[in-house]
Amino acid sequence: MKNDNMIEVKGVSKSFGGLKAVSDCSLQVEKGSITGLIGPNGAGKTTLFNIVAGTLMPDQGQIIFDGEDVTALKPHELHAKGMLRTFQIAHEFSAMTALENLMVAASEQPGESLFQSWFNIKHVTDFDLEVRKMALDVIDFLHLGHVKNELAGNLSGGQKKLLELGRTMMTDAKAVLLDEVAAGVNKTLLKDLASNIQRMNRELGYTFFVIEHDMDLIAELCDPVIVMAQGTKIAEGPMEDIRNNPEIVEAYFGTAVEAAS
């Protein structure tokens, strides 16, 4: 039977001591979608993201990725299967150029093998030329040509976020988890960032799962939007419906917020 979901969260719970951060949470991220995840502080969004990304193990429940149970897999194993995550604070190689940051992200480079480096130098060299061409294509796609030779540590917050997006394009990614993509990004670059996410979704077929506090950005990018409160999903739908849902207004401005503060 055909499965239209890229990510499925099935009955996931996670506690830290006496605090139940995620409670019997189930949700789906459809293939080819840009799905948003919102909720008040303390709703369990980041904990759930960490479980999906493999940095935390759930106490119970399952994570299904592209039809496969990946609950027990580590982040590097999920990366190999095509699930990537970006972070609120960009993790660039600051002493390398923007172009070099993209080149090192390419998967299965033969130069990483001592045998290949010694006995198959032509193959390594040819592969490096292909990776460089691919990285330059990504630079052009993201309109970062003017900073391609700049040290990544000198880039602005928004440029670093674009560079993180570019690194996902250097791999065989199927789905990208975006954690607070707007954090530290000025309004001008945020428009570029949003536009590139939409282009990667539309032109390259990437599925995105997005945690974000900027409701205008969520409204621009995401459909559907999933709402969490007190560790579980309470609503899902277009942003217009979400904003007009009394239960969600209560979650943000009523008892759920008071309980989380």
Q: What CATH number is attached to the domain comprising 236?
A: 3.40.50.300
Domain span at residue 25 reads 5-88+207-260
Predicted pLDDT of residue 258: 36
Asked if the structure places residue 194 within a domain, the reply is: no
How many independent structural domains does the chain possess?
Answer: 1
Asked if the structure places residue 157 within a domain, the reply is: no
Would you place residue 119 in the very low, low, confident or very high pLDDT band (cuts 50, 70, 90)? very low
Asked if the structure places residue 81 within a domain, the reply is: yes
Asked if the structure places residue 223 within a domain, the reply is: yes
User: At residue 250, does pLDDT exceed 90?
Assistant: no
Asked if the structure places residue 166 within a domain, the reply is: no
Residues 6+ apart with CB under 8 A from 118: none
pTM here is 0.82
Asked if the structure places residue 45 within a domain, the reply is: yes
Predicted pLDDT of residue 107: 57
Would you place residue 41 in the very low, low, confident or very high pLDDT band (cuts 50, 70, 90)? confident
DSSP letter for each residue of the chain: ----EEEEEEEEEEEETTEEEEEEEEEEEETT-EEEEE--TTSSHHHHHHHHTTSS--SEEEEEETTEE-TT--HHHHHHHTEEEE-SS----TTSBHHHHHHTTSSS-GGGSHHHHHH-HHHHHHHHHHHHHHHHHHHHHTT-GGGTTSBGGGS-HHHHHHHHHHHHHTTT-SEEEEESTTTT--HHHHHHHHHHHHHHHHHH--EEEEE-S-HHHHHHH-BSEEEEETTEEEEEE-HHHHHT-HHHHHHHHSHHHHHH-
User: At residue 75, does pLDDT exceed 70?
Assistant: yes
Distance CA 225, CA 34 (A): 9
Predicted pLDDT of residue 167: 87
Asked if the structure places residue 132 within a domain, the reply is: no
Find the range with the poorest average confidence among 21-35, 93-107, 123-137.
123-137
As a whole-number percent, the residues of the chain with pLDDT over 90 amount to 54
Asked if the structure places residue 22 within a domain, the reply is: yes
Q: Which residue has the higher pLDDT, 125 or 124?
A: 125
Distance CA 28, CA 106 (A): 29
